[in-house]
């Protein structure tokens, strides 16, 4: 089963929620854990254990591990291995985007099964040119992995590039830089539905997607939607951005972090299940 179909099947079975594993300092403090690689290890493995069988996917944020150097990277390796052992689809949030051999090295690090850092999928940035991501796309195809390309992010600074206009307008994609990215992802997914290549579109962007002419179903792949819960997005906001049809078809992987992790080490499962149940109401 291709990555897109695997993810969709997991969402159909376990709900559309993806929980970010973001070991912020304040969360380590709240969990009674030290601000060290050892604390991050305990935090991450507890979270994976609590979420197993309850959600479709988890999204470790690489930066929170990298800050502890080699010890933190070792913890990230162990966390990804735990996800595999527990049957959780991993979306490694690395947002890599480079050119040539450098992008090839990033791709091998995160998408080649021979790597100890290999994940089921990763996030990438296309702002050095969509074609520069080819090494990631090639390895994802070779090893049945997924790639989520940043398209419309929720940070205000992103709009100056993502919303910028282009001369060519494409039905279903609009005439923005973000629309061009969506169109190129759709082209990569042309031979499979759902495709293994997806988008990152913030759940808190409101009417921006509609105003730019973006139709979620146009990309033919999954959409990672961060911002649910503590960042302000709920069912109404998801429907405003993506429409009920896209959500009901298990295309939108709604992502939260603090709304679940702030429940504490013994409350993660219950918090995730409650949020997951509220999201499945849209179906």
Q: Supply the pTM of this predicted model.
A: 0.94
CB of 59 closer than 8 Å to CB of 99? no
CB of 130 closer than 8 Å to CB of 186? no
CA 204 to chain centre: 15
**pLDDT tens per residue, range 65-121:** 999 999 999 999 999 999 999 999 999 999 999 999 999 999 999 999 999 999 999
Single out the residue of 212, 189, 200 nearest to residue 253, CA to CA: 200
48-51: which pairs have CB atoms within 8 A and are 24 or more residues apart?
Answer: 48/21, 48/79, 48/82, 48/83, 48/86, 48/88, 49/82, 49/86, 50/265, 50/268, 50/269, 50/272, 51/19, 51/86, 51/88, 51/268, 51/269, 51/272
Ramachandran sector of residue 273 (left: φ over 0; alpha: ψ -120 to 50; beta: rest): alpha
The domain spans of the chain are: 3-280
Quick check: helix, strand or coil at residue 168? Answer: strand
Q: Which two tokens stand for residue 276?
A: 């997951």
Q: Taking residues 189-203, what's their average pLDDT?
A: 89
Q: Judging by DSSP bridges, how do beta strands 17-21 and 57-60 pair with one another? A: parallel
pLDDT of the residue at 170: 61
Residue 67: which residues within 8 A CB-CB, separation 6 or more? Answer: none
Q: Taking residues 185-205, what's their average pLDDT?
A: 90
Higher-confidence position of 167 and 192 = 192
Q: Judging by DSSP bridges, how do beta strands 252-256 and 17-21 pair with one another? A: parallel
Which one-letter DSSP state was computed for residue 216? G
Higher-confidence position of 123 and 177 = 123
Q: Report the C-alpha dihedral over residues 200, 206, 210, 215, rounded to 10 degrees.
A: 30
Q: Which of 95, 108, 163, 166 is catalytic?
A: 95
Annotation marks residue 95 as catalytic: yes
Cα(69)–Cα(50) distance, integer angstroms: 26
- Per-residue pLDDT band at 267 (split at 50, 70, 90): very high
**pLDDT tens per residue, range 131-148:** 999 999 999 999 999 999
pLDDT of the residue at 1: 76
Quick check: helix, strand or coil at residue 94? Answer: strand
- Per-residue pLDDT band at 283 (split at 50, 70, 90): low
CB of 220 closer than 8 Å to CB of 194? yes
Higher-confidence position of 168 and 139 = 139
Cα(167)–Cα(24) distance, integer angstroms: 42
pLDDT of the residue at 27: 97
Residues 3-280, CATH architecture: Alpha-Beta Barrel (3.20)
CB of 150 closer than 8 Å to CB of 178? no
Q: Taking residues 196-217, what's their average pLDDT?
A: 86
């Amino acid at each position: 089963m291709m990555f897109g179909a695997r993810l969709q099947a997991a969402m159909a079975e376990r709900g559309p929620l993806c929980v970010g594993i973001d070991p912020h300092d304040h969360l380590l403090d709240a969990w009674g854990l030290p601000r060290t690689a050892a604390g991050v290890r305990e935090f991450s493995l507890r979270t994976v254990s609590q979420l197993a069988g309850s959600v479709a996917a988890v999204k470790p944020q690489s930066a929170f591990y990298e800050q502890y150097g080699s010890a933190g990277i070792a913890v990230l390796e162990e966390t990804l291995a735990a996800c595999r052992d527990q049957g959780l689809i991993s979306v490694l949030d690395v947002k890599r985007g480079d050119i040539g051999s450098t992008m090839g090295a990033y791709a091998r690090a995160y998408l080649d099964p021979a790597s100890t850092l290999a994940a089921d999928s990763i996030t990438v940035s296309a702002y050095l040119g969509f074609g520069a991501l080819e090494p990631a796309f090639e390895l994802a195809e070779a090893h049945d992995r997924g790639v989520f390309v940043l398209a419309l992010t929720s940070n205000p600074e992103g709009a100056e590039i993502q919303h910028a206009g282009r001369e060519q307008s494409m039905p279903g994609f609009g005439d923005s830089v973000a629309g061009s990215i969506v169109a190129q992802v759709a082209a990569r997914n042309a031979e499979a539905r759902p495709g293994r290549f997806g988008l990152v579109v913030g759940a808190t962007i409101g009417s921006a997607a509609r105003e730019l002419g973006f139709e979620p179903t146009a990309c033919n792949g999954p959409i990672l939607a961060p911002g649910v819960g503590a960042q302000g997005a709920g069912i109404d906001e998801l429907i405003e951005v993506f429409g009920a049809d896209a959500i009901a078809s298990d295309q939108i992987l709604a992502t939260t972090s603090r709304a679940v992790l702030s429940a504490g080490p013994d409350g993660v499962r219950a918090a995730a299940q409650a949020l997951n149940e509220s999201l499945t109401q849209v179906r």
